[in-house]
Amino acid sequence: MASTSEPAAAARGGGLTRRRRRRLVLGGEYGVFVIAVGLAIALADWHALHINFLNWSVARDLFPDIITIGLRNTVAFTVSGFVLGLVGGLVIALMRLSSALPFRWFAMAYIEVFRGLPALLIFIFVGTGIPLAFPGFELPGGVYGQAAVSLGLVAAAYMAETIRAGIEAVPRGQTEAARSLGMSQFRAMRTIVIPQALRVVIPPLTNELVLLFKDSSLALFLGVLLSQRELTKFGRDAASQLGNTTPILVAGLCYLLITIPLGYLARRLEARQKRGRR
């Protein structure tokens, strides 16, 4: 006993115990946080903020147009871009996994280029580059077509990598079983592997949808008509017209109305999948 009490005493005395150290660190963190918030509250011009950002009469006047025009177009751009991106991403993913070298090269180049460029550049390229390169050619749907293609080009690059990972996550035995039943490589891919792969990638694709919602704001660079404005453009126009920033805040809330539930859904799907896989 005597031999063990000596180091035990040394451990308790002198320096900080774990409990004391944790209290000290937590106390410091809360302290910094409270001071920062306090400073922000004390220094902000609440009157100006209230008039410019939280002006209820301005906010009221935005409805229903901000929903029926702004949000509606945002959703239209995003969903059409997502569908194009999904189809394109699947094709690129299959090319990436192809045994033909040129296909793999093309897919890798595509993914690197379109993931590496700012989405804004793609919008400008589609909006001005394509009409210049192919005179007389017009994407079907006008601005809607241009936005869908721009978003789809970007989304396809990200989704291709996600879908490829999903396809590779399907065990090889699945393909072998399908082939042993006489299915061709293509048939096995289409009927057995891809349905399983898509199930795996639904949560990450939902996150991709959230990203697209935000990127759809870049459509304002396409030169849209009044009825084609999406949320950001709508909010910005209203803000400069009224000389008040409240519309920006309302537009932001409209985004969150969509993106927060979507993010929640993605997390739920992911959790359910983890439980299901065992």
> Which residues of this chain interact with another protein, rule CB under 8 A?
171, 173-174, 176-184, 187, 191-192, 195-196, 199
φ, ψ for residue 235, nearest 5 deg: -65, -40
Is the dihedral angle over the CA atoms 241, 242, 244, 245 positive or is it negative? negative
φ, ψ for residue 171, nearest 5 deg: -55, 150
Sole residue written with tokens 């996150």: 207
φ, ψ for residue 244, nearest 5 deg: -150, 140
Sole residue written with tokens 């990450």: 204
Q: Least CB distance from residue 205 to another protein, whole Å?
A: 17
Q: Least CB distance from residue 9 to another protein, whole Å?
A: 49
Q: Least CB distance from residue 103 to another protein, whole Å?
A: 22
Comparing CB distances to another protein, the nearer of 147 and 197 is 197
Comparing CB distances to another protein, the nearer of 52 and 175 is 175
Q: Least CB distance from residue 273 to another protein, whole Å?
A: 13
Q: Least CB distance from residue 200 to another protein, whole Å?
A: 11
d(CA 105, CA 217): 32
Q: Least CB distance from residue 166 to another protein, whole Å?
A: 13
d(CA 254, CA 49): 20
Q: Least CB distance from residue 199 to another protein, whole Å?
A: 7
Give the H/E segment covering residue 17: none
d(CA 85, CA 82): 5
d(CA 99, CA 275): 35
Comparing CB distances to another protein, the nearer of 137 and 186 is 186
The DSSP secondary structure of 179-228, one letter per residue, reads HHTT--HHHHIIIIIHHHHHHHHHHHHHHHHHHHHHHGGGGGGG---GGG
Comparing CB distances to another protein, the nearer of 118 and 171 is 171
The DSSP secondary structure of 8-20, one letter per residue, reads HHHHHSSS--HHH
Comparing CB distances to another protein, the nearer of 69 and 192 is 192
CA neighbor of 125 nearest in space, from 147, 107, 109: 147
Comparing CB distances to another protein, the nearer of 68 and 191 is 191
> What's at 42, amino acid-wise?
A
Comparing CB distances to another protein, the nearer of 185 and 240 is 185
d(CA 207, CA 267): 9
Q: Least CB distance from residue 184 to another protein, whole Å?
A: 5
Comparing CB distances to another protein, the nearer of 135 and 276 is 276
